[in-house]
Amino acid sequence: MKQIRKIGVFALVFILMLAFCSVFAAADAGLGITGPCYAVVSPTGDITQMAVTWWDSSEITEASVQYSTTMGFLHTPGAAIFEAAATAKRTDPTNGYTSFEAIMTGLTANTTYYYRVGHDDLWSEEYSFTTADPSAPESSFMYMGDIQYATYVSAPEDYQAWGNLLEGAYQAFPKLDFALLGGDMVHRGMDAFNWQLFLSQATRVFSGVPMLAVPGNHESNNSPTGKPELFLDFLAMPTNGPAGFEEEFYSYDHGNCHIVGLSSSIFLNEQLFHGSMAEGDFDRIAVWIADDLAESTAIWKVVVMHHPAYPVVSDPTAAAVLENWEPIFAQAQVDLVFCGHQHIYMRTNAIKGVTYVMGNSGSRHYDPAKVPYSEVMIEDTSTYQIVNAGQEYLTMTTYDVEGNNLDMVTLVAKDRGLVTAKAAAKKELDSYKDPEGYREAQQDELVAAIEAGKAAIDAATDIGGVERALAYAKAVLDEIKTDAQLTEEEALEAAKTEAKKALESYKDPAKYREAQQAELAAAIEAGKAAIDAATDIGGVERALADARAAIDKIKTDVQLTAEEEDTTVPTEITGKQDTTKDVGVKTGDTFPTGILLVMFSISLIGVAYLFIRKRHQVS
């Protein structure tokens, strides 16, 4: 009996091994790609653009997308046909495929476009999509959590089941504007066959409904760089994320909704240890998330990521998300955060105003657990979520494959006036000064003042407080000197130093008496004070001239001695002696009396002589 059981066990193992080998035999012998297939559209820019990705045979190196607003444009005379060249993202001769990406541009809002992908005479069937209507009062989209299969053996059946869930959802809600996927679309991120299983089902709906996704931990497993390489090569996401992490992080606006996609897998540290990521990138990414959410004025703010901030079971990556990103979500007043990873459905109660939803649309299911923040938890069930976002209310409803309504929550639009004011104030503070006009030390002061200002703005409890915090921060920034101001101050200081030096050497104190030396010292100090008080170089020159004039009025010892002796003495002018001499009789000079009498007698004798001579001549 035991022998029979052993034979049965061996037979079962053998059968399972055969099944396993048959599942992956296609991967070993190539993926059987013979023409364009697996088309998926994604909104990578604004309304005027739509990206499309697809696969073709590995021999194909050039391809394109043709599109038109006319259904059946190939067979419609006069139909306007546009064409965009594709970029080959990855070629794999072993598996026999090339992945392509092309961007359709020049699109018009709220318009249906028809397109096909391919090359030469080998093209796909015609697909269609409708561009967003920015004036629509409501947005409608779908969320689907983890998609990966339960086991290797059941992978084809599991993806088929997911494809049926997806198509059933679309048939029930054909007016969907777009869809969000929360990561772990595949089990082996670097295995093309895993991606083929996913894409072959995804194209059933996402060839027409624009799809956005974020990478999960399985998208990057076994990647030599830690990045989700095939995710980036096979899908097209918006490229407006932080430098070096484009398409892993992004934001997208649709009507009244602002969607932010985040790669929580960075907290696994695969990119840090194996790729080019640096420690500082964690903070840089967090700043990008905060700024992006703060700057949005959309009525509804929705985040999608793979790992939960509030898990069903403890998880180190979830703990990192909670520590680093959850405060940002609360600060930005995010309405809804979609996640996955733990293969169960859970909706939390509102935590700091934010509702968290963990989805699971695939065939792998984990056990539930009691957590205090759980409002609803559903196990062993593949689900999808439909969101209808109006102007005042957002309703999220959870359905199973049979269309049963399993959960529903309605959110009320938040008054984000204060949040918007804070975002605007911080943005104004960032652009208030140009760091290029400052020296390195002052640039550091700018950064510190801006950060302090932002902290004060964040702490404000009303718009008035925001305005006061902004005004004070600007005043602090105004006090930080620019390079030009410092250069001008340095030139002024140099001029003051030279002027005071000239003043100190202008006169020689040794030429003055003690009392005048004191006057001289006081005049020099007063001149220096006036020079120091000058606000420009012209003021320095005037202060120096005035000080010199005051000093010139102080008499030297020589001048004072001359005055005392009532003698003409040399006059000192600006440090030089007057060498001119005065000659002749001076006022106040006198002659002796005797000399005057002699002169008078001589004069009388002369007169008498003239008188006698005249009489003699007459006679």
Tell me the CATH number at 191.
Answer: 3.60.21.10
* Whether residues 427 and 551 fall in one domain: no
* Whether residues 369 and 422 fall in one domain: no
Q: How many CA atoms does the CB half-sphere of 479 hold within 13 Å?
A: 8
- The average confidence (pLDDT) of the chain is 89
* Whether residues 113 and 146 fall in one domain: no
Sign of the CA dihedral running 607, 611, 614, 616? negative
Cα separation, 589 vs 253, in Å, equals 110
For range 387-400, the mean pLDDT = 97
Q: Could you tell me the pTM of the whole model? A: 0.73
**Cα dihedral angle (132, 138, 144, 145), rounded to 10 degrees?**
110
User: Is residue 556 domain-resident?
Assistant: yes
Predicted confidence (pLDDT) at residue 575 exceeds the cutoff of 70: no
**Structural domain total, the chain:** 4
* Whether residues 240 and 117 fall in one domain: no
User: Is residue 26 domain-resident?
Assistant: no
Measured distance between the N- and C-terminal CA atoms of the chain, rounded to whole angstroms: 206
User: Is residue 25 domain-resident?
Assistant: no
Question: Which of 412, 433, 455 represents a domain boundary (last residue)?
Answer: 412
Predicted confidence (pLDDT) at residue 580 exceeds the cutoff of 80: no
User: Is residue 392 domain-resident?
Assistant: yes
* Whether residues 92 and 192 fall in one domain: no
pLDDT value, residue 108: 96
More confident residue, 84 or 21: 84
pLDDT per position as a tens digit, 332-379: 999 999 999 999 999 999 999 999 999 999 999 999 999 999 999 999
pLDDT value, residue 54: 98
* Whether residues 386 and 245 fall in one domain: yes
* Whether residues 458 and 502 fall in one domain: no
pLDDT per position as a tens digit, 231-272: 999 999 999 999 999 999 999 999 999 999 999 999 999 999
* Whether residues 49 and 186 fall in one domain: no
* Confidence at 419, pLDDT banded by 50, 70, 90: confident
The conformational region for residue 453 under phi > 0 = left, psi -120 to 50 = alpha, else beta, is alpha
User: Is residue 32 domain-resident?
Assistant: no
* Whether residues 154 and 121 fall in one domain: no
**Cα dihedral angle (488, 491, 492, 494), rounded to 10 degrees?**
160
User: Is residue 614 domain-resident?
Assistant: no
User: Is residue 2 domain-resident?
Assistant: no
The range of the structural domain enclosing residue 65 comes to 39-135
User: Is residue 538 domain-resident?
Assistant: yes
Say if residues 348 and 335 touch (Cβ distance below 8 Å): no
Predicted confidence (pLDDT) at residue 13 exceeds the cutoff of 50: no
* Whether residues 123 and 241 fall in one domain: no
Predicted confidence (pLDDT) at residue 130 exceeds the cutoff of 50: yes
- List the structure tokens of 537: 């170089």
Cα separation, 291 vs 194, in Å, equals 36
* Whether residues 294 and 187 fall in one domain: yes
- Give the residue from 327, 335, 331 showing the smallest Cα distance to 354: 335
More confident residue, 111 or 421: 111
pLDDT per position as a tens digit, 297-310: 999 999 999 999 99
Predicted confidence (pLDDT) at residue 89 exceeds the cutoff of 90: yes
Question: Which of 119, 135, 151 represents a domain boundary (last residue)?
Answer: 135
* Whether residues 228 and 359 fall in one domain: yes
pLDDT value, residue 595: 61
Question: Which of 412, 429, 456 represents a domain boundary (last residue)?
Answer: 412
Predicted confidence (pLDDT) at residue 578 exceeds the cutoff of 70: no
Say if residues 285 and 242 touch (Cβ distance below 8 Å): yes
